[in-house]
């Protein structure tokens, strides 16, 4: 097993590393393309904006390496928070062009309906089975002003309610991603992370 956590300026890599090590796994940070070579699991944390994340990944030369590993070699991938949002084609946040691995776009919560950002615990209902074991309904920690709207309903893994249902997690094959922070979601989040890392 070779776990790599993408470490970029706008990310939350140290907190994710602490969670991975708490679960008893060894992992290394990836800061350049060659760091991803041979990885069995790649985690892309996210804090900040979609554009800043894309700019950081591009500046580090990681975009092609990530695409090769995840899309071509089918390495297990977990995106967290903004790491989930940039999987889609476009984000309203700073009019950012994103990875486009999944069809759809990212929009802002309606500020006339809810306080932005959503900050705190929210219940997630998982609506399809994947390789990752999840609670039927569990509470996870969110910090987000934007959310993804997948074009393909089959990509939706979990939903939550914040002024209406929104996509809280997505999955397609080896690609898993959560809008919530697994590393800040107590035993429930650690359980999900552990299940992801156990997949070979």
Nearest to 44 by CA among 76, 14, 6: 6
Catalytic residue among 98, 171, 176, 181: 181
State how far the Cα of 168 lies from the Cα of 163, in Å rounded to an integer: 13
Our answer to whether residue 81 is catalytic in this structure is yes
In this structure, what token pair is assigned to residue 37? 């070579």
* Cβ atoms of 28 and 4 closer than 8 Å: yes
Catalytic residue among 41, 97, 183, 187: 183
Catalytic residue among 81, 98, 171, 176: 81
∠ CA 118-119-123, rounded to 5°: 80
> Concatenated DSSP letters for 142-181?
EEESEEEEES-GGGEEEEEESSSEEEEEEEETTEEEESSB
Our answer to whether residue 97 is catalytic in this structure is no
Our answer to whether residue 22 is catalytic in this structure is no
Catalytic residue annotation:
81, 181, 183
């Amino acid at each position: 097993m070779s776990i790599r956590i993408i470490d970029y300026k706008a990310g939350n890599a140290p907190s994710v590393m602490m969670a991975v090590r708490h679960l008893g796994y060894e992992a290394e940070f990836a800061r350049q393309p060659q760091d991803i070579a041979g990885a069995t699991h790649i985690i892309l944390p996210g804090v900040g904006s979609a554009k800043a994340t894309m700019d950081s990944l591009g500046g580090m030369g990681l975009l092609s390496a990530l695409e090769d590993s995840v899309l071509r070699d089918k390495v297990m991938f977990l995106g967290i928070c903004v790491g989930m949002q940039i999987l889609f084609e476009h984000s309203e946040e700073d009019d950012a062009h994103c990875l486009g691995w999944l069809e759809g776009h990212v929009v802002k919560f309606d500020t006339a309906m809810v306080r932005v950002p959503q900050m705190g615990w929210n219940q997630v209902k998982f609506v399809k089975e994947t390789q990752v074991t999840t609670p039927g309904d569990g509470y996870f920690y969110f910090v987000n002003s934007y959310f993804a709207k997948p074009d393909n309903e089959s990509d939706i893994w979990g939903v939550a309610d914040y002024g209406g249902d929104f996509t809280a997690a997505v999955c397609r094959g080896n690609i898993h991603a959560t809008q919530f922070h697994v590393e800040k979601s107590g035993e429930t989040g650690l359980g999900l992370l552990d299940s992801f890392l156990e997949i070979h």
